[in-house]
Amino acid sequence: MCGIVGYIGKRDVAPLLLEGLQRLEYRGYDSAGVVITSPKATGLKMVKAKGRVRDLEARVPKRFTGTTGIAHTRWATHGAPSDENAHPHMSADNKVAVVHNGIIDNATELRAKLEADGVVFLSETDTEVLTHLVARSEAPTLEERVRQALKLVEGTYGIAVMHADFNDRIVVARNGSPVVLGIGEKEMFVASDVAALVAHTRQVVTLDDGEMATLKADDFRTYTTEGSRTTATPTTVEWEAESYDMGGHDTYMHKEIYEQVDAVDRVLRGRIDDRFSTVHLGGLNLDARAARGIRRVKILGCGTSYHAGQIGAQMIEELARIPADAEPASEFRYRDPVVDPDTLYIAVSQSGETYDVLAAVQELKRKGARVLGVVNVVGSAIARETDGGVYVHAGPEVCVVSTKCFTNTVVAFGLLALHLGRIRDLSVADGKRIIEGLRKLPGQISEILAGEDEIKKLAEQFTDAKSMLFIGRVRGYPVAREASLKLKEVSYIHAEAYPASELKHGPLALIEPAMPTVAIVPDDDLLEKNRAALEEIKARSGKIVAVAHQVQEKADHTIVVPKNEDELDPILMGIPLQLLAYHTALALGRDIDKPRNLAKSVTVE
């Protein structure tokens, strides 16, 4: 989704901003632009282009120098991808430039009013409305002009504004779309994502909704959109610039699949308490009495995070014996849910910025619910809005398609389930058993990854498939759902996931030799039931790949994965299917790290 980067200092700003935009490319975008100035300049200079950052770079003229600038990668919402619709948007007198992430809901209405007043629009975007509103304000300061403009707009925004008459500063504001300030030595940065900052500084300030900031080369200050000062204490980002490099792999997806060994080790590190056969989760903010009072758990997330939440719900039910379920956050917030004071709500998000999840959290908080977060990005909006939670410590995930964050999120749920279980009725022996299982995970993931060649060969058989079916039961069903999402996102092959128990209620009609089925068949109490499903498919000449703990006779191919504790098996069973999706997409020549039409972080509705 859209990205913002800005700088004010002494360096040559254009190359620095272009490099920042490249670091944001992973979020998905269709056009890019940059505007710059310097203290002695009389105006603003702008270049923008449809296409990639390299297309923009090709258009940058030789003498495009300055020391202050803002830049943007756009993901089209209002108006098709085009040079005109790319940000920044400039006022008619070329004095005001705005870059914007988010959506202005009342843009049509405001545009009509401005047009009636004679304003000529150059683009179809909602953002251009903001530019003209700032340009028409006659307030004495840029801050006040921006504030007046923002009072008129409804919707979400992360914005950065420059003005030729106030060229010693950049003014930024946030409402529902991330804005992070990067604090340097006599230089300041701003971005919508720390990925664009960490090469220059790891000291950051994340703005809250309703907050604005003024950046000058040697100073910054933050204040509310109402004008009162706020305190901003910089924090240090753990992620280093190198974490964003490809590290010898051909794609980020491949790199991130391989990083799972270390990532899982990291999410466990320092949390296991052998003495009491439990785990410590520092940021949970949930004491034992409150934990014992929970009557239900409701997990909310979107896409892959929702699937991780489904596995998490199963683990919580099994280990802590608390009724638990997961629901897409995007649906939850629109169905006027009953908010129950004895329910623990858990918001799950890799980015911590997904709008649907954030909005669900805000609605729950408004109704007085207790909401925890299971989040990867430290200090992100969801992490800050929730009452406490568990960081998943997967490190930055650059590929649009989530892999290591899924696995780490599920492990984090394993930890939470164990913690809640040991406060309630899970025995010491069972606590020990789960801890042993958790400790085995990194080694077992290595074993699975060692089988990549076999999975690569297998994937080559699926490049002609028009559609694939993924099935699993209970613990295996969310694994099937996530594997099906992975395949469709990255290879564009249609895939559908079904509970294996539902086969004869409809999907069996689809089975024929051209419709392969991937079945999750763990060695647990449902093994025989799962085998019966394989029989049903085989009897109809369906081709089967099983992911199992032992070779399945009815399957055409079995990917054998190491056995862990029954409750933890889902963590491992999805990993070979990440590789299957990857190699199928690779064989089809897909843009693996940036699948069409998708963005890494969906910060709009």
Q: Which of 91, 167, 349, 517 binds ligand M6R (CB under 6 A)?
A: 349
* 300 touches ligand M6R by CB under 6 A: no
Q: Is 405 a catalytic residue?
A: no
Nearest alpha carbon to residue 254 among 401, 394, 396, 392: 401
- Applying the rule CB under 6 A, the residues between 391 and 430 that interact with ligand M6R are 400-402
Specify the amino acid at residue 359.
A
C-alpha dihedral sign at 384, 390, 395, 400 = negative
C-alpha to C-alpha distance for 373 and 271, rounded to whole angstroms: 17
Q: Which of 5, 21, 35, 302 binds ligand M6R (CB under 6 A)?
A: 302
Q: Are 70 and 34 in contact (CB under 8 A)?
A: yes
* 361 touches ligand M6R by CB under 6 A: no
Whose structure tokens read 């069903």?
477
Q: Helix count (H) and strand count (E) of the chain?
A: 19, 27
Nearer to ligand M6R, 220 or 413 (CB): 413
- The radius of gyration of the chain's CA atoms, rounded to the nearest angstrom, is 25
Task: Exactly one of 2, 302, 399, 405 is catalytic; name it.
Answer: 2
C-alpha to C-alpha distance for 101 and 96, rounded to whole angstroms: 17
Binding piece for ligand M6R, criterion CB under 6 A, among 197-205, 281-289, 345-353, 513-521: 345-353
Length of the chain: 605
Nearer to ligand M6R, 198 or 394 (CB): 394
Nearer to ligand M6R, 277 or 601 (CB): 601
Site track for ligand M6R across 46-65, x = CB under 6 A: --------------------
Q: How far is the CB of 287 from ligand M6R (least distance, A)?
A: 28
**Coil, helix or strand for 346?**
strand
Q: Are 353 and 301 in contact (CB under 8 A)?
A: no
Contacts of residue 443, defined as CB under 8 A and 6 or more positions apart, other chains included, come to: none
Q: How far is the CB of 385 from ligand M6R (least distance, A)?
A: 13
C-alpha to C-alpha distance for 146 and 353, rounded to whole angstroms: 24
Q: Which of 357, 383, 390, 458 binds ligand M6R (CB under 6 A)?
A: 357
Beta bridge partners of 559: 547
Whose structure tokens read 């802590």?
320
CA 436 vs CA 426, 440, 568: distances in Å: 15, 6, 11
Q: How far is the CB of 405 from ligand M6R (least distance, A)?
A: 7
Nearer to ligand M6R, 161 or 392 (CB): 392
Task: Exactly one of 255, 486, 563, 600 is catalytic; name it.
Answer: 600
Q: Are 591 and 602 in contact (CB under 8 A)?
A: no
* 598 touches ligand M6R by CB under 6 A: yes
Burial class of 161 by CB neighbour count within 10 A (0 to 12, 13 to 18, 19+): buried
- Applying the rule CB under 6 A, the residues between 461 and 480 that interact with ligand M6R are none
Nearer to ligand M6R, 216 or 384 (CB): 384
Cβ-closest position to ligand M6R: 303
**Coil, helix or strand for 604?**
coil
* 177 touches ligand M6R by CB under 6 A: no
Q: How far is the CB of 425 from ligand M6R (least distance, A)?
A: 31
* 602 touches ligand M6R by CB under 6 A: yes
Largest CA distance in the chain: 79
**Coil, helix or strand for 547?**
strand
Binding piece for ligand M6R, criterion CB under 6 A, among 194-202, 222-230, 351-359, 538-546: 351-359
Binding piece for ligand M6R, criterion CB under 6 A, among 216-224, 348-356, 467-475, 514-522: 348-356
* 350 touches ligand M6R by CB under 6 A: yes
DSSP H or E stretch at residue 538:
helix 527-538
* 351 touches ligand M6R by CB under 6 A: yes
- Applying the rule CB under 6 A, the residues between 489 and 508 that interact with ligand M6R are 489
Residues with active-site annotation:
2, 600
Positions that interact with ligand M6R (CB under 6 A): 302-305, 349-351, 354, 357, 400-402, 489, 598, 601-602
